[in-house]
Structure 1
Amino acid sequence: MGKAISWLRRSQARVAGWLALGACVLLAVPFSVVATEAPPVQPNEPSIHFGILPIGSAAESRKQWQPLLDDLAGRLGTPVTTISVSSYAGLSSAIADQRVDIAFLSGRLAIEAVLHQHMGVVAQFVRTDGAKGNVGMLVVRTDGPIRGLGDMLAQAGRWRYARGEPLSVTGYVAPEAEVFAPRGLNSDTFFASVHVGNHQNNMLAVANGEADISTSNNPDLDLFRRNFPREAAQLKVIWRSTSIPCGVLVVRRDMAEPLRSRLVAFMRGYGKGSDATAAEERVKLAQVPDLAGFNAADGRVLKPFVDMEYTLLRQQAKNGRWVSEEAREARLRQVETQYRQTLAGLRP
């Protein structure tokens, strides 16, 4: 138990380091920049840097997006490079360091980009099944001792937890806000050990007996079933969150015109229409799990994420240990103020 707590504290320190975004540095995060087949970049020639939110591995995510990005480079006649990282914090740091012109983000990552990193929401992810959002999950082994959420909650300090980064909505915010905080619990202290990783690796850890519970979501679980059918057959879902809105595209506000407008128009129109070209584009879109296209949107579509974060912070303030009731009330007032300021910052 002592080793687990020591390991957890070291992990928390590393996460805290990642989130020091003002440093604008990628800390121990694999970082790759891969050029498309666009024409070679000439001196002073504009280019587009596309940031890819990791789904599965960074290499896999890059491969999924590449056909669309090749079309983007060809249509705009502008070289496109991908900024492909292995963590949410790594992508946020790349955006803060102005390495990214356009990115596909979700939740807290998108809010951070809009409020503090000079990005603006231009479109929202459209799912192939028409659903308005995704669902966060907690996953365990089918043959394991945890039969349901009650079994997990009944034995504090026993289980090994594999979750997402603090910037991940389904990997951290949703289960924290809807499972742990309402019960006065904190996942970082509830479990025997906590490992932070992506959904794919976390589910593999559960399937291989290296963890007892993993966070996930429906797109990542579907992808996991395709890539690891034998391991996926050993897993079951014991909890599902409320619906979480789909991710968004953000574009750098100070990107030069008319390139910015042409980029936004391309992404919003890609795969739409009834001609053969649009049909081919929809096939390329489908290579990204559950992606059918992008609808025009602005920062207001992020309000549900802000509401979830607000709920979590209020619950943590109410249930936390404070030196006095006055300190608790001061924290609650701070949460209210931050909530109103964040909503104001999302308005176009």
Structure 2
Amino acid sequence: MNNFTIYLATLLCLLASKVVGQETFETRAKNIAAKIETITKEEKSALKEEVEAVNNQLEKGSITLEQAENKKKVLAEARAINIEARVGKEQENLKNLVQEKVDGKISESDTIKKSNQLILKWEKGDKKHIAKNEKRTTSQFVFAAGLNNLVTDGKIEDSDFRFLGSHFYELGLTYNSRLAQNSNFLHAKYGLSLMYNNLRPTDNQNFVINGEQTNLETNPIHLKDSRFRNVYLVAPVHLEFDFSGSETKGNKRYFKTHQNVRLGIGGYAGFHLKSKQVLKFDDSNLEATEKSKGDFNTSTFIYGLSSYIGYKETSLYVKYDLNSLFKNNTINQNNISVGIRFDLN
């Protein structure tokens, strides 16, 4: 089972966990999500300190601007590897948790009992429950996946990349803050995400570095598969319109979120972590896999526009890079992605 399948299965189970009898499963899954959030914060904080140290060296004149940029890029790549490695362990925990649920190892009687306890706490006006509903800022675990491609000189038709074979996925953590004291309509949504953009060229092509440019060229050997992946660390910011409304219980007014139609409009900015090209050769004389890593002359920084619209936790999601994928190519090629997004409280 690959990482994409693990995440998708886990997210679907989380969406179903609102049914009575699923509370223990949901709690354990949220605990794993909290660990992922902690890992991301720790690595981000460490990277910030390391970058500040490099900036201090630059100010003192002990290194050049080019050396400083190279150091920052190396540090960012190292922290990205740390995040992938540490988050990978939690992915395995998610996989095991889903398998336990499938195998029936999570006690149904215990989860029903816990659900009943939560109902009793609500009826008694449990202070912790009230405090949670009165919070103006909440956090969500975000996962998105879908199709990915390039817009070349403003056009996407006749693309050199497979529409169904090229895909993206995004893993992140966001905060959702209600902007008005007595209105639940407008929220600020912000956080940190890892974005993976994959492209699969058509017509037996692959990317080739030609000096400062990176071009698609036909490979003389038959390719079973050609895949080009770019990884980014970005900070998304959205203005979210939430139609969930509010309700009054006794003398208390509670503002609900992710219970109705939601619309988010905003963008993202960040930097490139790494690129990798995988070529699988398959002809009468050669069967092999070649993996190449490097920057491939891709743009160091990424920024773009994004939007989503949906119901409760599930939304349709689109994002578009305003920067060109390759910084020196004569033809502008901008990444575009369309898919499904899950925002899990």
Q: TM-score, normalised by structure 2?
A: 0.24
- Report the structure, 1 or 2, having the larger helix content: 1
- Report the structure, 1 or 2, having the larger strand content: 2
Larger Rg: 2
* Greater relative contact order, per chain length (Cα 8 Å cut-off, separation 6+): 1
